[in-house]
Structure 1
């Protein structure tokens, strides 16, 4: 099944917004979809157990439906780095464990599957492994979400260099406007986007404007209007 790893230039770059938007776009085209969030911290306690809003957003855009535990096999309450949240919970995250946990979901035939990371490319999984290693283990092309704000050119280029240094292709990048002030000067904003287009050397899959005051489902549908699927979809 066509599957991609979603990473960002930083925490809150908009990975879930972009991932859910791409899944919503695929659903509009009558595709079957799957969005996975292997590790999530910042989960809320519910009658059904710990639940993460990002994982729930991806679950809502996955069709046919899949159980939450398969979407998000590792869930932790503290809104901190996943490896620390796991440690405080008495767990130890490993790449082997993640691959094993995701195997049943990834065995399901879907037209488009997305595996969303946590934070940026070099987020630790434990003392020896990074979450980026999951994309390597699964041999997934990467979609880079660039949080559009001051400093994003450096963050985007360093992230792209790290992804390629790890031997993975970048299937595309998406700019997500996290700071409305960054687009206040249309000419300057355009110059920044042109720089990213030239220096990231990967297809731009869209530029998503600031989307506030909507439900996660509505935001996914709105984001889909500004996105294109990676080549082959």
Structure 2
């Protein structure tokens, strides 16, 4: 069974969850840890000769040190690039957190040292009329890593998301400041505000870089708080 498992959430969509997730995996790889990743649901998949494939899930699959099938990494692949519950409804499917948790537990049985489960969108992305994706880490009892997209409004988005994570009974294991907006006004002041208001450790401050490869991002990540259990 995976020894250390973390759920990667974001303050919004397009804040760099996958880039950070791949960086975390690569940082663990470089420390000699065996790694796996799981993206339970992905929208915006493309038709290929092998079936629907999502570029984010493929990156996680390629960065993991343990080889898993695509279906193990991303069991629910949806073609429309819209909210997952809407995409599923359009093709007559119903997303269910309990079913997702069962699939995820199957992957968690892999003998890995380090596992990343990547969410979709923000913390309260709906799965159906009564469940959100936040129900998945709640069912799995996994600590959360929050990716903060550093842009205008990030302080409120971050504090509200952290409040929801704690209210859901989960531990914020750490957070990552990802400079999504290269021209963000008062970046340093916003970062310092978040550092002063969040008790969880800052795992990485990732600048706005052209090279978003896992190897490049891993250079900025401090895994120690995750591995030491802080």
TM-score when normalising by structure 1: 0.94
Residue 217 (structure 2) pairs with residue 231 (structure 1): no
Q: Residue 77 of structure 2 aligns with which residue?
A: 75
In 1, the alpha carbon distance for the partners of 2:32 and 2:101 equals: 28
Residue 122 (structure 2) pairs with residue 120 (structure 1): yes
Asked if 2 retains the 8 angstrom alpha-carbon contact of 1:211 and 1:219, the reply is no
In 2, the alpha carbon distance for the partners of 1:123 and 1:174 equals: 20
TM-score when normalising by structure 2: 0.95
Q: What is the CA-CA distance between 1:189 and the residue it aligns to? A: 2.0
Q: Residue 10 of structure 1 aligns with which residue?
A: 12
Q: Residue 162 of structure 2 aligns with which residue?
A: 160
Q: Residue 182 of structure 1 aligns with which residue?
A: 184
Q: What is the CA-CA distance between 1:4 and the residue it aligns to? A: 0.4
SS of corresponding position for 2:28 = helix
Match of 2:110 among 105, 108, 111: 108
Asked if 1 retains the 8 angstrom alpha-carbon contact of 2:42 and 2:74, the reply is yes
Q: Residue 219 of structure 1 aligns with which residue?
A: 213
Q: Residue 202 of structure 2 aligns with which residue?
A: 204
In 2, the alpha carbon distance for the partners of 1:29 and 1:101 equals: 28
SS of corresponding position for 1:27 = helix
Over residues 18-77 of structure 1, what are the superposed CA-to-partner deviations in whole Å (9 max), with x where a residue is unaligned?
110000000011110011100000000000000001100100111111100000000000
What 5-or-longer segments of structure 1 have no aligned partner? none
| Count of residue pairs brought into register by the alignment | 225
In 1, the alpha carbon distance for the partners of 2:115 and 2:62 equals: 13
Q: What is the CA-CA distance between 1:98 and the residue it aligns to? A: 0.3
Q: What is the CA-CA distance between 1:105 and the residue it aligns to? A: 1.1
Over residues 163-200 of structure 1, what are the superposed CA-to-partner deviations in whole Å (9 max), with x where a residue is unaligned?
001110100000101100016xxxx3222111111112
Tell which deviates more after alignment, 31-40 or 100-109. Answer: 100-109
Q: Residue 62 of structure 2 aligns with which residue?
A: 60
Runs of 4+ in 1 over 4 A off after TM superposition: none
Asked if 1 retains the 8 angstrom alpha-carbon contact of 2:46 and 2:53, the reply is yes
In 2, the alpha carbon distance for the partners of 1:172 and 1:199 equals: 13
Asked if 1 retains the 8 angstrom alpha-carbon contact of 2:150 and 2:187, the reply is no
Match of 1:191 among 179, 184, 189: 189
SS of corresponding position for 1:195 = helix
